[in-house]
Structure 1
Amino acid sequence: MTVSEGMIDVTGGKVWYQLHDEGIVNTPVLILHGGPGSSCYSMQGLKELAKERPVIFYDQLGCGRSERPQNPSLWHIDRFVEELAQVREALSLDEVHILGHSWGTTLAAAYLLTKPVSVKSVIFSSPCLSAPIWAEDQKQNRELLPKDVQQTLLECEQAGRTDSEEYKQATIEFYKRFVCRLDPYPEFLQKGAAYRNPELYKIMWGPSEFHVTGNLKSFDCTSRLGEIHIPALYTCGRYDEATPSSTEYFHSLTKNSHFHVFEESAHMPYVEEPEAYIKVVQTFFRNVDLGK
């Protein structure tokens, strides 16, 4: 396999990309990582897809191996949509599949609604296509936590102490149930923390997955999902913070779409059930390439 990487000029700085290519002439897939500000580090297992097509990862500006400009005005969705278009142009991705995870699905949807040409399909993996729906889902998920954890979260949020160690420890209990259920937590994911940008995340999203206070808090594209006509696949984990009910709802609004739940996963099925995840994604891309 040929692995190449480099930097691409985008609005506000330079972003790092990595291309995995075995020379197979199939439509490439561009991976949009979650966050905002989390990097593609945790998604490296998706290079398995390169057995059938080129796979392109990139770290969005502000995180991972990309530049980290100290300019908060850059951290808004329109600039990230522009960045995606710039990455695609720089890499000459004339025809492409898009696979977005979590915030990456927010970005994918916003990009698709600009009506770009020659996007062959899209995968919305553990989607966040409505911040208000997400927030409501997390309110319900929080009620499944131990009472003392719920109380700690609430007290810290009300007192403005979401940066406290107490709050961070309480959020871990949420993440164990609804983000990644593997125990022990994979060591390689722990190392990935250095690639994140907490400031960017807080500006756009908030202090935690379930307390939405950033500039994305009103994002909701559900009324426009019917405008997406390319083949689409919606996936999530059975215990996902991107709940099966909401994911299926988004699927119901998208005409040419499919829906799949990974039964043993939370928010990271590509880590929690990697073989099953690769199989589902590969099958979808094969069928799209064959016009099925």
Structure 2
Amino acid sequence: MKYIDGEYQLFLNEIGHWIKIEGSSNKTVPLVIIHGGPGGNHYVFERTAGPKLAEERTVIYYEQRGCGRSELPFSEDAYSIKLLIEDFYCLLEQLGIKKVDILGYSFGGELALEIAFAYPEIINKIVLSAPSLMFSNTVLKTQLQGFKTIGDSKFLERMEKVLSQNMSIKEKWEKVWALADSKIVDRFLFEDQKVAKYNRWLWENSGLSNTGKMMEALQMNPPCTPLEKRLNQIKHHTLILTGIYDRNTGLKISNIFKQELSNSKLEKFKNSAHFPDLEEEKKFVTTTLDFLR
């Protein structure tokens, strides 16, 4: 298939995947955007930072199996890191692309590194925006601490009751998230609440939702060797972009990536939480393009 601008449905591993191509006339190494969640979609990114990247780069979006505008897999548990990596490889095969740059945000950053580990020869440069380590307790602790910094008195009182119970950290984390209403979540994810409001408006307009099935399946079937233990084997030139107020994945996680990825650079965003692509869009785009040139 010759890749030209437009939206397509491609069958990858027998599942219809939504893809979108912009900026093909730029004829650059394609930049594949990998969304987070797990279970998210690209609706916001393709209306904000994405088109600005496509002014200079060839940009390819795809939504993972069971996510956004892609089809659900045949089984609710047909999700694994291995399958997601295979889907990505199939995408490049169908498009006839030998090498790409990748930009992964949140869980997408983690998946980007898994892809680079599995198929180092097909990856050129890597951009990680607020990357996660979803199988690490460090993320759970980061998020619990983050809620403490933005919760109102009522939320904090209910949260403390949960934290005082005799449960695993994962159980506490699940219960605390269940307590958070949309206003708490917006304060958790964003510093600027005007940006949070715009983001939520886009979420609602998309008509897309995260079923939670991918997250559930991935947590039931984590990689045999945690990504954190394999990071030092990834040698690609990597840019890490992180908001200093990120309460979701946090600077602590980004510093782990910076320390373990030998060929990496960390760029901090001083006015952003989990979405520097939205809160400091101009700097996000400029920094990313400078790195990719």
Question: Any gaps of 5 or more consecutive residues in structure 1?
Answer: 206-212, 287-292
**Residues 1-292 of structure 1 correspond to what in structure 2 (within 5 A)?**
3-44=5-46, 45=48, 46-69=50-73, 71-129=75-133, 131-144=136-149, 145-153=151-159, 170-184=180-194, 185-186=197-198, 188-191=201-204, 194-204=207-217, 215-216=221-222, 220-240=226-246, 241-286=248-293
1:103-141 Cα distance to aligned partner (Å, 9 max, x none): 101211111111331311111110113522211212322
Contact 2:44-2:203 at 8 Å conserved across structures = no
Contact 2:65-2:71 at 8 Å conserved across structures = yes
Measured in 1, the distance between the counterparts of 2:160 and 2:40 equals: 25
Alpha-carbon distance, 1:262 to partner: 1.1
Measured in 1, the distance between the counterparts of 2:271 and 2:136 equals: 25
3-state DSSP class of the match of 1:72? coil
3-state DSSP class of the match of 2:193? coil
Call closer, same or farther: CA 1:49–1:132 in 2, change over 3 Å: same
Call closer, same or farther: CA 1:218–1:150 in 2, change over 3 Å: farther
Alpha-carbon distance, 1:193 to partner: 5.9
Measured in 2, the distance between the counterparts of 1:23 and 1:3 equals: 8
Contact 1:29-1:98 at 8 Å conserved across structures = yes
Measured in 2, the distance between the counterparts of 1:25 and 1:171 equals: 44
Q: Which structure shows the bigger proportion of residues in helix conformation?
A: 2
Question: Any gaps of 5 or more consecutive residues in structure 2?
Answer: none
Measured in 2, the distance between the counterparts of 1:162 and 1:122 equals: 30
Measured in 1, the distance between the counterparts of 2:225 and 2:161 equals: 26
User: How many residues are matched?
Assistant: 277
Measured in 2, the distance between the counterparts of 1:39 and 1:154 equals: 33
Alpha-carbon distance, 1:283 to partner: 0.8
Matched residue type, 1:265? S
Q: Mean Cα displacement is larger for which, 93-102 or 183-192?
A: 183-192
Measured in 2, the distance between the counterparts of 1:257 and 1:163 equals: 32
Measured in 2, the distance between the counterparts of 1:242 and 1:167 equals: 14
Measured in 2, the distance between the counterparts of 1:259 and 1:243 equals: 13
Alpha-carbon distance, 1:229 to partner: 0.8
Matched residue type, 1:14? G
Q: Which residue of 2 aligns with 1:209?
A: none
Matched residue type, 1:67? E
Q: Mean Cα displacement is larger for which, 21-30 or 180-189?
A: 180-189
Measured in 1, the distance between the counterparts of 2:100 and 2:26 equals: 14
RMSD (Å) for aligned C-alpha atoms:
2.9
Measured in 2, the distance between the counterparts of 1:114 and 1:192 equals: 36
Contact 2:15-2:65 at 8 Å conserved across structures = yes
Measured in 2, the distance between the counterparts of 1:153 and 1:201 equals: 26
TM-score, normalised via structure 2 length = 0.83
1:184-203 Cα distance to aligned partner (Å, 9 max, x none): 31154332563222232551
Contact 1:269-1:277 at 8 Å conserved across structures = yes
Alpha-carbon distance, 1:180 to partner: 2.4
